[in-house]
């Protein structure tokens, strides 16, 4: 996984209780993950670390736009996202100690580790930031990315559509069915 070195943070020798980082994962970052639902993004991920003797609490603030396809009109859009997450990491003298604890909300790492890799967590949290419905009110933008013809059609406002002919094929079929 090339290009992910900036996400590898040292965890030994810290003296302060709070640390901050800011990352801007883009196309190159997401290319490192196989079958990623995100190919392109313009997001800022701010990470704050609250350090305690055997515990680290990471606070992630994600804001920006993620490239996607609109669920309404199938146009390529940059979907706005904003989310906050928390990750609790506990240092254990043995990983069996962490397994005995059995808490699914705490990530256990070895107390011997000198670095912590944030990249899989940043990736996972950006992917979790994607809404289930990939739509937003794009019509208020100066240049809407959505296909307005498709949106008009969905609303039933298509002015090019011809009214059905009187005495057309469907009327003949209805008449034949009655007889």
pLDDT value for 113: 87
Residue 139 clears pLDDT 60, i.e. is over it: yes
Q: Is 153 helix (H, G, I), strand (E, B) or coil?
A: helix
Q: What is the number of alpha carbons within 13 Å of residue 2 lying toward its C-beta?
A: 1
pLDDT value for 142: 79
Which residues, listed in sequence order, are joined to residue 107 by a DSSP beta bridge? Answer: 89
Residue 158 clears pLDDT 90, i.e. is over it: no
Tens of pLDDT, residues 56-71: 999 999 999 999 888 8
Calculate the alpha carbon distances from 37 to 17, 77, 124, 125, 137 in Å: 35, 14, 10, 12, 22
Q: How much is the average pLDDT of 38-45? A: 93
Q: Which of 47, 137, 115, 132 is nearest to 84 (CA)?
A: 47
pTM for the whole structure: 0.75
Residue 73 clears pLDDT 60, i.e. is over it: yes
Q: Is 50 helix (H, G, I), strand (E, B) or coil?
A: strand
């Amino acid at each position: 996984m090339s290009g992910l070195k900036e996400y590898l943070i040292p965890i030994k020798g810290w003296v302060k209780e709070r640390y901050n980082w800011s990352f801007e994962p883009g196309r190159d970052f997401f290319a490192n993950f196989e079958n990623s639902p995100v190919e392109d993004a313009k997001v800022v991920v701010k990470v704050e670390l609250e350090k305690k003797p055997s515990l680290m609490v990471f606070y992630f603030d994600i804001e920006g736009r993620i490239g996607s396809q609109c669920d309404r009109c199938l146009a390529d859009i940059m979907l706005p996202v904003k989310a906050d997450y928390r990750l609790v990491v506990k240092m254990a003298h043995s990983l069996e100690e962490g397994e005995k604890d059995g808490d699914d909300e705490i990530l256990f790492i070895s107390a011997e580790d000198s670095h912590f890799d944030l990249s899989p967590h940043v990736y996972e949290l950006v992917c979790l930031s994607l809404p289930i419905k990939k739509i937003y009110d794009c019509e208020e933008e100066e240049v809407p990315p959505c296909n307005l013809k498709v949106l008009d059609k969905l609303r039933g406002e298509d002015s090019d559509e011809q009214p059905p002919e009187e005495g057309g094929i469907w009327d003949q079929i209805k008449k034949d069915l009655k007889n």
